[in-house]
Amino acid sequence: MTTKVCCRCRKRKSVERFSPGKSNKDGLVYNCKDCANEYRKRTRQIPRYKRKEQNQVLIKKYGITLKEQRFLLKAQRGRCAICGTCRPGGKYNRWQTDHDHKDKRVRGLLCYRCNTGLGFFGDKSEILLKAAIYLRRDENENN
């Protein structure tokens, strides 16, 4: 039985777990079927009419297009700008567009949890710093 290492999960799997593809010398794609399916679920295609609606909402609320949002996510390597997770979470499993409420400037894309956390702290860096100091102090006392 021949095996191959998946480029995404770095696990050695049998060649039956890889789809045929022309991009590699061995005639198989780089990622195993499990990773490919997970990627498809995470980046599933939005129907055209939904994309149009989503694009209009992004332009109206943040002044960016869906294409610019995708570019921003690509620049962040498909991860949350704060915690680095690759799963957006939340009800609709979509990335949250973080913006400055004063000048409406887009800062980045966040997962649901980080965006909610910033919202609860009122986007105030002083309070976030105090919270971080509080958590550090508690960690030091317990160690």
Coil vs helix vs strand at 37: helix
The alpha carbon of residue 64 and the mean position of all alpha carbons in its chain are separated, in whole angstroms, by 18
How do the pLDDT tens digits run along the chain, 143 residues long?
Answer: 688 888 888 888 888 888 888 767 788 888 888 888 887 776 666 666 677 787 888 888 888 988 899 899 999 999 999 999 888 888 778 899 999 888 888 999 999 999 999 989 988 889 999 999 998 987 777 76
What pLDDT, on the 0 to 100 scale, is given for residue 35? Answer: 86
What pLDDT, on the 0 to 100 scale, is given for residue 45? Answer: 62
What pLDDT, on the 0 to 100 scale, is given for residue 25? Answer: 79
Distances (CA, A) of 19 to 39, 42, 93: 14, 19, 27
Give the C-alpha separation, 44 to 55, whole Å.
16
Q: Which of 50-53's residues contact partners 24+ apart within 8 Å by CB, and which partners?
A: none
Taking the model in full, what pTM does it have? Answer: 0.60
Give the C-alpha separation, 28 to 33, whole Å.
11
Amino acid occupying residue 21:
G
Distances (CA, A) of 122 to 39, 108, 112: 33, 17, 15
Tokens of 110: 């966040």
> Which CATH fold topology does 48-142 show?
His-Me finger endonuclease fold (3.40.1800)
Which residue ranges make up each domain of the chain?
3-42, 48-142
